[in-house]
A and B are shown apart, each in its own frame.
Chain A
Amino acid sequence: MSENEKRVGVYVCHCGHNIAGTVDVEHVAEWAYNLPNVIISRDNKFMCASTGQEQIEEDVKEFNLTHVVVASCSPHMHEKTFRNAVERSGLNPYLFEMANIREHASWVHPDDQDGATSKAKALVSAAVHRVLHHEELTPMQVEIRPEVLIVGGGVAGIQAALEVAEAGHHVYLVEREPSIGGHMAQLDKTFPTLDCSACILTPKMFDAGSHPNITLLTYAEVEQVDGYVGNFTVRVRKKAKMVHEDLCTGCGTCWEKCPKKVIDTVFESGLGYRKAIYRPFPQAVPKYPVIDVETCIYYDTGKCRACEKFCPTDAIDFEMQDEIVNLEVGNIIVATGYDLFDPRRIPQYGYGRHENVFTSMEFERLVNAAGPSDGRVVLRDGETTPQSVAIIHCVGSRDKNYNGHCSAICCMYSLKFAHLVKERTEAEVYNFYIDMRTIAKGYEEFYDRVLEEGAHFIRGKVSEITDATHASEEEGKLVVVAEDTLIGKQRRVPVDMVILAVAMEPRADAEEVAHRFGIGCGDTGFFTERHPKLDPVATVTEGVYIAGACQGPKDIPDAVAQGSAAAARVLSVISQREVALEPVRATIDEEHCSGCRICNTMCPYHAIDFIEADSVSRVNPALCKGCGTCVAACPSQVISGAHFTFDQLIAEIDGIMVDVNIDEPLVAAEMV
């Protein structure tokens, strides 16, 4: 189409009073006739209403418009609406441009009507100049593979896996540890119902382990993700377990005979022991043990092999190597969970120095009937029952020195601890809190119950936990020092045991994992959802979803809900069989590409390949997300970013710099 064949329609929206109250809409519409190739320019009360949209459709037909500009609200509000209207009129929906004269003009310059009107004119001019360079674009259709990868076998991942598997699609569930179950498997009771955590989780673990549509890949990690929605290729490293699962029966002889005792820092939080060959906990799924080569005597000295000797099925194989598995999947759900804050980072709380300062997870193991103390609440000596217990809330949360965020679950599990201490001992319980946040169903009621049970609540942030005593009643105790902000007094509370309600933090390798899957991390380090309100389990990478605490602190019901939500999103994509990819993406003019390789490191999605044979770089359109970073980097300007081309943006700049005070003839300010 030659320049003078282009016919632009301009529509300036009043948005009732929202725009017209500040911007002289009629004037802007009238003035727009001076802009190049504008055939028709109208103002309209509500462009997004059906009448407004129909106006576009009618005009395109009547005036043979080739391009459309709507000056109204933010494109984030109605770009889709108008693109659809343009498409209904028979034009390619990308031959449209929007000027945001509401959020960016009328609403922010209410006291400067002239200024707002001038700015609206500049923005309309920019849109008209730009749209003249728009090209027809077509979304790319790609087929969706039905297989799904779920990363992380905690409760969110298990839930998602079961939902997808039940719907009839195959799931690969990858878990870093030897067993699925995640943090929930370590817990004793769950708030506020005090259900036994294991009792409600293990049936789900069993279902996941035995479901014909679920392949468990435990003791395994995703190393590389390539491809795009519908067609991901995933490389998984299965760490050598040194035990042949097809031969092992899980009888337990091997770990009974293993002479090497190791402190279990993972499942037992350092309170208990396991062997060098071990199954993390009795209900583990799968039920097979693994050999920890770091601590196994054989790998250290070349001798022992006790497990091998006693194994009735010859399942032990000391020569086993890591295995690489390549999976082809259409969608991915990342549910990698969280880490707990290490309270050693707050030295004044004395964790690691005062033996009777515990973390919340240590206490979970302590009160767990299957834990190292068989569920007895005792001090670290394993015998003494405490007479008094302090629970410190917000350890590493809501604290600018560590994590600004609220960990969401600590108030409730602290209440649960208070209840359990009361239930199992005669001890006095002191909760030191900043604010009580008991915000879900049944939570406030649980708080009331714990108050009635006689737990003490002191509103104040603990400054110190010390064994330096000031008075005789403090002798031999740990003194919790805090300002009680409700009575405005410094308190020193001597106790036998302190539990630190430690924060939920992003996994230490969250950033690396995010990078691998093409998702982002927010300022707190948790994975970023596509939209915080309306798209909470999707990510910027199509086909990659997030669920559970990897997205942010949350309790079990929320994690489960997100697991189901992510599964629902995936199932909806699978049922569409193919998916349309936004055509905003980069292409390289290979004829003119010199192969300088400047662009090669620009793409975080690995969409640019260097083709050695032709000495050119090439963009894989399905992987490209259209950010344009490579486009701006290309020093010979041979990478083009669809819908954000060099010409389009230069035209927009020239258009926006139009002198809004000149009525006609209207040309972008020319150079002398």
Chain B
Amino acid sequence: MEIIKIIGIGLIALIIIIMLKQYRPEYAIFISILTGILILFLVMDRLTGIINLIQSIEDKFSINTQFIALLIKITGIAFLSEFAVSICKDSGEAAIASKIELGSKIIIISMSIPIISSLLEIILKILP
């Protein structure tokens, strides 16, 4: 049922953008940003369900909670930066899009350093 809403909003926004692009191109970008936000809010409650599921699994099997929290944080960063990158590319600013992508990659790598270091420790322990 929700998918119909998402497709409907997308098509309506597309028509509005095409109509506005010839007179006021800057409003077209506003509408594309707002459509992205609107669709993300539509699927937000399912996303919370998924994240709660992950956290409940984490408690049950007592996996190292620090890594799971970090993974969820990294997904959030990727989620937001992809949102910004696609908008910048859409409006023709590929340079800004690549800068945002670069920044988000560096932040993700810097956040995942503890995971890498603990992985190396485990490997060293296993080796004779």
A and B associate in one complex: no
